[in-house]
């Protein structure tokens, strides 16, 4: 019985030791990602009027879809998505 208890304790100790160990993954170049993400594009919360005043008229304005209404404006360099009249996301074209 003592031998079985010792085996269980060793197995449990090995399991805990492997569970606790971890490595940290270092990723270079991410410090500027947030700055480049929004460079030259409308930011979240901007109104449609402000986007149009800042970036001009879109090349194409798609009609609203769904509820809440989601509208898409296409520009040469990026695409802007609005919920009602506020920017919810803007993405750079590839």
Rounded to an integer, what distance in angstroms lies between the CA atom of residue 58 and that of residue 56?
6
**Residues 8-61: tens digit of each pLDDT:** 777 776 665 555 667 777 766 656 555 555 578 999 999 999 999 999 999 999
DSSP class of residue 41 equals S
Structural domains counted in the chain: 1
Q: Is residue 21 part of a domain?
A: no
Q: Is residue 74 part of a domain?
A: yes
**CB within 8 A of 81, min separation 6: which ones?**
70, 71, 72, 87, 88, 89, 90
Rounded to an integer, what distance in angstroms lies between the CA atom of residue 65 and that of residue 78?
20
Determine the structural domain holding residue 67 and report its residue range.
40-94
Residue 72: band (very low, low, confident or very high) from pLDDT cuts 50, 70, 90: very high
Q: Is residue 6 part of a domain?
A: no
Residue 16's H or E segment, with its range, is: helix 2-20
Q: Is residue 13 part of a domain?
A: no
pLDDT at 30: 58
Q: Is residue 30 part of a domain?
A: no
């Amino acid at each position: 019985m003592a031998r079985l208890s010792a085996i269980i304790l060793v197995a449990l100790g090995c399991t805990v030791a492997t569970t606790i160990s971890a490595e940290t993954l270092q990723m270079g170049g991410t410090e500027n990602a947030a700055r480049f993400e929004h460079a030259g594009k409308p930011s979240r919360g901007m109104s449609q009027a402000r986007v149009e005043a800042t970036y001009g008229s879109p090349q194409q304005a798609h009609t609203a879809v769904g509820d809440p209404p989601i509208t898409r404006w296409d520009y040469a360099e990026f695409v802007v998505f609005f919920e009602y009249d506020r920017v919810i996301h803007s993405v750079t074209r590839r």
